[in-house]
Amino acid sequence: MASNFRQIHKTFCLVFLAVLSLSGAPTLWAQSTEGSKAAASVAELATYTGADRQARLIAGAKKEGTLTVYHVYPALSKVMAAFTQKYDIKTKAWRAGSEAVLQRVISEARGNKFEVDIVQNNAPENEAASREKLLQEVRSVFHQDLIPQAVPAHKEWVGITVDVWMAAYNTGKIKKEDLPKTYEDLLSPKWKGQLGIEGNNHAWFGALMAQMGEDKGLALFNNMAANNGISVRKGHSLLTMLVSSGEVPLALTVYSWNPEQVKAKGAPVEGLALQPLMAQPSTIALLKKSPNPHAALLFYEFLLSDGQKLLADDKFVPTSKKIEHPFTQTPVKYIDPAMAIDMQAKWTKMFEDTVTKRAK
């Protein structure tokens, strides 16, 4: 009897839940999966490739009315302004350094706070966010216009520009004919007290050592630091300004766009490409729990289309293959973002032991 009663009760419960489902009445199951349904809608929208994709994004973005962007590039403010002008979608932005942006995204997610839609950061930092399962795969028709290094297999971030590390020199302090042609040339006594470097370039340094051959590269920089000295400064833009003032006649690591931007304002600065030339993409990513996914994806597409020209006009190196730039014909070695994460501890220690702790 007890067994029959349990079977009857089980059958009744199943029928009751089915009736509730058909009538549209809410169930405990439906309530508990509300969050996963919202996440699925972001994924569905991000991977939708139908002919009406753009129309859907625009219509949805108009209803959302806004989006929030965390970013590291100061220049992204200009792109956001252009986006607002084109679509009348307001943008809220928060800007900080790459590590601070990554940490905020992670800490907010762990605290179940989901306010950010798009994050712009260096490739290793957004790859770290991908490992935290925070980013959404996006399929975009504009991916086909980009260099291969800008589109990883998982498509959870995409490169919008390329940060190329290069040297920069003060044209009033150093004659063109005296410029070094290789890193080995910097061992000459004439560079004593002339050199500077940005203090957080461990990824550049580690990847450069791998290209040179670790033993050979470390010996070269050890000799350079010991004999000629390398002053360490925080910030690529600051280091470029110190080159323009003549305080640092030759900087080893600025971004390619740094000297171009200050040169356009009349500063006596030129960039110098010493091989091997190292680079990494600067990227954008859509958050899995974006509160404004239509506006976020519309901005994503804008950055890969109209935004490419805007960034190129501001001296950045675009990832679009359709736009010419100074490095189109120049050999560039790209840092693997995953390797940069896995090797961070080793590369940081190498850089500190060889350069920053011996700064003069």
Return the domain boundaries, the chain.
Answer: 33-162+280-326, 163-279+336-358
Q: How many CB atoms lie within 10 A of CB 91?
A: 19
* Rounded Cα–Cα distance for residues 223 and 100 (Å): 34
> Which tokens sit at 183?
């890193």
Low-confidence ranges of the chain (pLDDT < 70): 1-40, 360
Q: Are 104 and 263 in contact (CB under 8 A)?
A: no
Angle formed by the axes of helices 293-303 and 306-313, nearest 10°: 50
Q: Give pLDDT, residue 112.
A: 96
Percent of the chain at pLDDT > 90 equals 84
Percent of the chain past pLDDT 70, that is, above it, reads 89
Q: Which amino acid appears at position 256 of this protein?
A: S
First vs last C-alpha separation in the chain? 90
Strand partners, 334: 279
Domain 163-279+336-358 falls in which CATH fold? D-Maltodextrin-Binding Protein; domain 2 (3.40.190)
For 180, what's the count of Cα atoms within 13 Å in the CB-facing half-sphere? Answer: 23
Q: Structure tokens of 58? A: 């625009």
| Cis peptide, bond prior to residue 281, ω within 30 of zero | no
Same fold, 33-162+280-326 and 163-279+336-358: yes
Amino acid at 323: I
Before 276, cis peptide (omega within 30)?
yes
| Domain covering 33-162+280-326 assigned CATH 3.90.1150.10 in the classification | no
Q: What is the pLDDT of residue 358?
A: 81
- The pLDDT, as a whole number, for residue 326 is 85
Contact between 103 and 138 under an 8 Å Cβ cutoff? The reply is: no
pLDDT digits (tens, 9 = 90+) for 30-79: 333 334 444 448 999 999 999 999 999 999 999 999 999 999 998 899 99
Q: How far apart are CA 145 and CA 320, in angstroms?
A: 6
The rounded radius of gyration (Å) of the Cα atoms in the chain is: 26
pLDDT in tens, 10-31: 443 433 333 333 333 333 223 3
In this predicted structure, what is the pLDDT of residue 75?
Answer: 87
Instruction: At 321, give phi and psi (nearest 5°).
Output: -75, -10
Q: What is the per-residue pLDDT for 245?
A: 96
Position 35 scores a pLDDT of 40
